[in-house]
Structure 1
Amino acid sequence: MKNYERGELAKEILTGLATGGFIALCIVAPGLTHIAKLFKTKGARDKYRITQAVRGLQQKKLVRIKRKNGQDVIEITEFGKKRVLAYNLDTLHIKPLKKWDRRWHLITFDIPETQKYARRAVSAKIKEIGMYPLQKSIFVSPYLCKREVDFVGEFFGVRKHIIYIEATDIENAEKVRRHFGIY
């Protein structure tokens, strides 16, 4: 098993649970043989690390262990699912195309003052994933980014306030092209 930084093993287990839903655990070899196989454990030390990571997730209420059909089953909780979404948000970025399709992808939003923290967070995250700010609440990218924008909007609970636009021409296109290195 590879060396994980502090918290990385738990993050891997939680992400795996989110994609698989739940993992049935055998009662033999303190209940974690299926997870141990996924991480290619080599000995008792590795199995102990996995056990500790699962216990930590359980203490933080990110997973729960239930008994189903005579087997222990690890299930991810709603709180755990939200944590995985936060992990996904951290790694989110727009994938550049090999050849630009000559379309601009714009988003504009009008998030109410009552949700100003969400507005700031959306603005910062949209900028972070690679969109260029044309104005305070208008961003542009030469690459398809609807999925990423939808994810950010849903995560912060303001998707209904975000409008996604595809355009063939925008004002100040040269400045934006230079920013993205498109000539």
Structure 2
Amino acid sequence: MPRHIPILFKDPNISDEIRERTKKFVKDHPLASSAVQVLLATAIMGGTITVAAAFPGIFKLIGKHEVSEKKAKRERYQKLWRSFNNLKKKNIFEKVGEGNEGVIYRFSDKGRAMVREFAVETLELEKPKRWDGKWRMVMFDIPEKFKSRRLIFQRKLSELDFYQLQKSVWLHPFSCVKEINFLRDFLEIKPYVEIFELNEMSNGRALYYFRDLLKKHA
């Protein structure tokens, strides 16, 4: 296998919120679906691509067979290197300079847009140890000219396991203000989305929908 100069990722333009969300996602999901997913997480968290590193804190790629750690590390490195070169050709990364530890890269403007998309794709609600007994209702009236953004927002609510009370009214028992605000800012739909907190819920279908989840966090 050819030796490559280590690649270091340093981008001060990545927000602390996105870094922390990425770290949590990596911790909660030890297996990644693709090398690109691992690469983006590595770059967002300011990691390094090097054959000598064990990629601490970075989730492993899903494989069909168990292999030795040495071989697995080499295969991960090769996949990450190929993914890095492919994204670099697409102008996702830009070179900043060189140091004693290797070549330094950061995300380009195009790459930062990809980071925001990654942050939305991996966005998850924090599950409390114990439910506080309150309900969160998300209501929106997003204009037709923003139809594509509305569809993305609705799809993400569904992925986050919200219950759809009405076409533009969704419900969840767990706190979601930070996550909804993140989506509103990313999609630029803040004026059209409202979040309400309810002390009671009388909708039987909603209660039934969340029955198992609430039992786990009672």
Name the TM tier (shorter chain). Answer: 0.7 to 0.9
Distance 1:113 1:10, change over 3 A: closer
TM-score of the aligned structures, taking structure 2 as reference length? 0.64
Aligned length: 168
Aligned position for 2:82: 52
1:57 CA displacement: 1.6
1:28-177 aligned within 5 A: 33=50, 36-39=52-55, 42=70, 46=75, 48-68=78-98, 72-170=103-201, 172-177=202-207
1:84 CA displacement: 2.5
Superposition CA RMSD, Å: 3.0
Distance 1:130 1:154, change over 3 A: same
Unmatched tracts of structure 2, length 5 or more? 1-30, 57-68
- Please say if residues 38 and 80 of structure 2, whose CA atoms lie closer than 8 Å, have aligned partners that are also in contact: no
1:96 CA displacement: 3.4
Does the residue aligned with 1:123 lie in a helix, a strand or coil? helix
- Counterpart of 1:10 (choices 36, 41, 56) is 36
Cα distance in 1 for residues equivalent to 2:54 and 2:135: 42
1:75 CA displacement: 1.1
Which stretch of structure 1 is more off in the superposition, 150-159 or 44-53? 44-53
| 1:18-68 deviation digits (Å, cap 9, x = unpaired) | 222x86xxxxxxxx64x7525389589655544333211201111112325
1:112 CA displacement: 1.3
Percent of pairs with identical residues: 23
User: Which segments of structure 1 move beyond 6 Å, counting only runs of 4 or more?
Assistant: none
Letter aligned with residue 54 of structure 1: F
Does the residue aligned with 1:58 lie in a helix, a strand or coil? helix
TM-score of the aligned structures, taking structure 1 as reference length? 0.75
Unmatched tracts of structure 1, length 5 or more? 24-31
- Please say if residues 14 and 80 of structure 1, whose CA atoms lie closer than 8 Å, have aligned partners that are also in contact: no
Cα distance in 1 for residues equivalent to 2:175 and 2:35: 33
